Structure 1
Amino acid sequence: MENIKQIFTAFMVLFAVIDIIGNIPIIIDLRKKVGHIQSEKASIIAGSIMILFLFLGQSLLSLIGIDVNSFAVAGAFILFFIALEMILGITLYKEEDSNAITASVFPLAFPLIAGPGSLTTLLSLRAEFEIQNIIIAIVLNVLLIYVVLKTSSKIERIIGPNGIKIIRKVFGVILLAIAVKLFAHNIKALV
């Protein structure tokens, strides 16, 4: 039961951070600019980046002298700002590039899906959850990302622009609460 709870929580955190539903307008715009997006390639590359960072991220941090709790606190700040963007409908930082040759990899797989927010979140989750549960959550998110990429036009027609805005705001509030919990849990270890 504990594993299912961890998988569900990790899945929801990653789902909120990746915000694939909220990114549907960006995906549709990218599809219009480049003509076609390779959903399989984008999903596999994004999933590979996340799993690789889950394993190597901590070693990389150790190499530069940062512990996981410090990174988790920093991650809580990033999640906080991403949540503010979602709730308030503002853009604090978003890099856009529409190179037709590599659109499925850049900017879609990285940094839109497997970006700073999701990578920071993975290490933050690693500080709290078992690694196999996080991997399952990543795989479930990648499957969902694939489905959304394949059906983004249909989803946009069904949900509509207002529905997408509502979903973004709801997940923004959830993400804000997660950021506060993550900060509170890891700041104790540092103090």
Structure 2
Amino acid sequence: MVDFFRDLLLSFIPLLIAMDAVGTLPILLGLSETMTAKQRTRMVRLAMITALGLGLGFIALGKIVFLLLGIEVADFLVAGGLILFILAARELLTERMAGRGEVDKEMIGVVPLGIPLIVGPAVLTPLLLLIDLYFTGAVVLSFIINLAIAWLIFSQGNRIANILGRSGLRAASKIAMLLLAAIAVMMIREGVTEILTAL
């Protein structure tokens, strides 16, 4: 039992840092600028379900899938970075959410919020390492606890949106998209560096 709680703590800390829910919150607000409180709540719920499903699936099958497809973590970084960059560029250069329906808006909870912002290469890579180092049950529990913490932080999005107001949200959304683009470039750079180093 003592070993379980030790493994729980040791796997909890790196996942907490990697998930960085506080850092993701401004991006969430930017992506949901034109949403109602109800839409934002549904989007967060969808993001949490997506992140939970991907994380648990990755713990169970990640290494096997990577091995079968010949995928390296570096490939995952580059692919995730490209997706994020395209999304950020589109939101910065075009009219935000123009012509999108309610369902389409909330699908932002799947991509890019659920994947790869909440659970992307930064979280999946430690998960792969942690299940080799610690008891799998402890790693799974620490992952779920971290998702619960992220949900608590994201659930304050409506309150923060009310405080900022429409103009504040619009400004925050542009800053958030720039941050998203920067994160995307960082992921691509790290992935390319790993690929070149391995040659």
Report if TM-score (shorter chain) is over 0.5: yes
The worse-fitting range, judged by mean Cα deviation, of 72-81 and 114-123 is 114-123
One-letter amino acid of the structure 1 residue matched with residue 18 of structure 2: A
Aligned to 2:49: 45
Q: List runs of 5+ in structure 2 lacking aligned partners.
A: 1-9
Q: CA deviation at 1:54?
A: 2.2
2:179 maps to which of 170, 173, 178: 170
**Is the alpha carbon distance of 1:81 and 1:158 closer, same or farther for their aligned partners in structure 2, counting shifts above 3 Å?**
same
| Aligned equivalents of 2:192, 2:144: Cα separation in 1 | 22
Size of the aligned set, in residue pairs, is: 174
Mapped contact 1:87–1:173 kept (Cα < 8 A): no
Q: Are residues 1:143 and 2:149 paired?
A: yes
Percent identity, please. 10
Task: Calculate the TM-score normalised by the size of structure 2.
Answer: 0.57
Aligned to 1:67: 70
Mapped contact 2:62–2:128 kept (Cα < 8 A): no
Aligned to 2:58: 54
**Is the alpha carbon distance of 1:68 and 1:20 closer, same or farther for their aligned partners in structure 2, counting shifts above 3 Å?**
farther
One-letter amino acid of the structure 2 residue matched with residue 125 of structure 1: T
| Aligned equivalents of 1:125, 1:152: Cα separation in 2 | 28
Cα displacement string for residues 4-57 of structure 1 (whole angstroms, at most 9, x for unaligned residues) = 884465224x877xx44323254464436x668358854652342132232123
After superposition, the CA RMSD in angstroms is 4.4
1:11 maps to which of 19, 24, 30: 19
One-letter amino acid of the structure 1 residue matched with residue 121 of structure 2: T
Q: CA deviation at 1:79?
A: 1.0
Provide the secondary structure at the position in 1 that maps to 2:102: coil
| Aligned equivalents of 1:127, 1:151: Cα separation in 2 | 27
Task: Calculate the TM-score normalised by the size of structure 1.
Answer: 0.59
Q: List runs of 5+ in structure 1 lacking aligned partners.
A: none
- The structure carrying a bigger helix percent of its residues is 2
Provide the secondary structure at the position in 1 that maps to 2:88: helix
Q: CA deviation at 1:180?
A: 0.9
